[in-house]
Amino acid sequence: MPSVPFTQEMKKDYTILIPNMSPIHFNVMKRPFELHGYKVVLLENSSHQVIEEGLRYVHNDMCYPALLVIGQMIDAIKSGICDPDKCALVITQTGGGCRASNYYYLLIKALERAGYPQIPVISLNLKGMNKNPGFTITPSMLIQALTGLIYGDMLMLLSHQVRPYEVHKGDTDALIDKWTDYIDSCYRENRHYVGRWLKKNLYQMSDDFAAIPVDRSKKKVKVGVVGEIYLKYAPLGNNNLEVFLEEEDCEVMVPALIGFVLYGFSNGIKDAEYYGRGKAYAWFMQHIGMPFLARYEHLIEKAVTRHKEFVPPATIKELRQYAEGIIDTGCKMGEGWLLTAEMVELIKKGYSNIITAQPFGCLPNHICAKGMIRPLKEKYPESNIVPIDYDSSQSRVNQENRIKLMLAVARERLSNEA
């Protein structure tokens, strides 16, 4: 049990602070919390003070995402965004061997050191760990969160493939805002976001992004981004990597977030196969859970491919096939085999210039990203991969210079193809 549980009474008037890992996804997915009676605030504070607060209350040898998330929360509390006696914090907890499983305990310890021991910490997980009587993930919340994840993936994928080519700058971001507001209204009214409406909305999204005036006459360097999940999606974690790449006249591809969710679910099947444990869970996921979720993957694929200029994400089945012969799918620490599979996906889809964003000293990334560069290069000679370490001691200029070297190689190859 947590040291300070989040109770039913707290649910009425407490504000829950949520770190914003992926702005597009989380701005869509926050509404299900509100529909179920929770008052939530997505944290947007991103000044250097966030890092300073993280270093003050988290040991500097801990994973960089933990330092950032905890620093962002404490910085928000100190800035007066909410009453410290009327707020709670949410942090994910994987339950696996990755250091991310310990973020929950690190946050509790940091709050005590910062003078806020009264603030409850809610562990967001699907494994029943560190339960709070005032916070329950219901089936309806799961369904709403799943649809929010799908809408977020769709908006992210399409916006990345349109923004670099738009004739009128700002059209893509305006369309993201329009759809975010519309989906938010659907959640608020609790209708028109699931079932046949989900398909209708995804198809209309595809049509709307395809209708934005673009100029694709000039070929652009196509760059894929993989890595540790927080650093892959969070602008705070990767120093606004996507913005930097688009300013360098690149088209960016970031794999769909649903792939990571399905990767986590599918690992239980491999556990049963290798270790003989969790057989009931494995049977359910193999015969019911994964086939059910696969329908949503195919729905995204069909919606994206309505227009030939758009590239769809790979399904979890395809990703497993991509990993075969390179890395065993029993390698599931952190992002595990998915990281390697996503690099293969990007290469096959034409995004062979790849940045692997990793926390300094992240063992899974060193094995499944850095360690896979050589075998990937041997199998896919066109691959151009650069690992970038992110840490409080790493210079942003040094990171961007390393990326520019990779882009220089990519531009030379692109000019030779012309």
Domain-wise residue ranges, the chain: 8-136, 219-255+314-417
Residue from 400, 44, 22, 62 nearest 229 by CA: 22
Q: What is the pLDDT of residue 2?
A: 55
Q: Hey, is 87 helix, strand or coil?
A: strand
Contacts for 415 with CB less than 8 Å, ≥ 6 apart: none
**Mean of all residue pLDDT scores within the chain:** 92
Kindly state the average pLDDT of the residues 138-154.
Answer: 91
Please give the DSSP secondary-structure letter assigned to residue 99. Answer: G
Evaluate if residue 100 carries a pLDDT over 90: no
The CB density around residue 168, as the number of other CB atoms within 10 Å, is 10
- Say if CB 98 and CB 333 are below 8 A apart: yes
> What is the pLDDT averaged over residues 96-114?
86
The CATH architecture annotation of domain 8-136 reads 3-Layer(aba) Sandwich (3.40)
What local confidence, expressed as pLDDT, does residue 360 receive?
A: 87
Angle separating helix axes 23-35 and 171-189, nearest 10 degrees: 20
Residue range 236-240: mean pLDDT, rounded: 95
Tokens of 104: 């929950």
Residue 171 pLDDT greater than 90, yes or no? yes
Q: Give the mean model confidence (pLDDT) for residues 60-84.
A: 92
Question: Residue 309: its pLDDT value, please?
Answer: 95
**What is residue 61's predicted lDDT score, i.e. its pLDDT?**
79
Tell me the C-alpha to C-alpha distance, in Å, between residue 110 and each of 65, 73, 96, 101, 228. 14, 10, 22, 16, 23
CATH topology classification for 219-255+314-417? Rossmann fold (3.40.50)
| Range scoring the smallest mean pLDDT among 91-100, 147-156, 293-302, 399-408 | 91-100
Q: Which stretch of 32-36, 215-219, 247-251, 301-305 has the lowest confidence by average pLDDT?
A: 32-36
Residue 250 pLDDT: 97
Share of the chain above pLDDT 70, in %: 99
pLDDT in tens, 313-346: 999 999 999 999 999 999 988 899 999 999 999 9
Q: Of 95, 100, 90, 96, which is closest to residue 145 (Cα–Cα)?
A: 90
CB of 187 closer than 8 Å to CB of 380: no
Question: Quick one: pLDDT at residue 340?
Answer: 97
The yes-or-no verdict on residue 146 having pLDDT over 70 is yes
Encoded tokens for 297 = 């993957």
Question: Which percentage of the chain shows pLDDT scores above 90?
Answer: 72
3-state secondary structure of 170: coil
Q: Which of 277-281, 326-330, 381-385 has the lowest mean pLDDT?
A: 277-281
Q: Which residues contact 192 (CB under 8 A, 6 or more apart)?
A: 186, 201
Higher pLDDT, 223 or 277: 223
* Averaged pLDDT for residues 49-67: 90
Mean pLDDT to the nearest integer, 111-133? 87
Which DSSP helix (H) or strand (E) runs through 359? strand 353-359
Are both 8-136 and 219-255+314-417 of the same fold?
Answer: yes
Q: How sure is the predictor about 1, in pLDDT bands with cuts at 50, 70 and 90?
A: very low
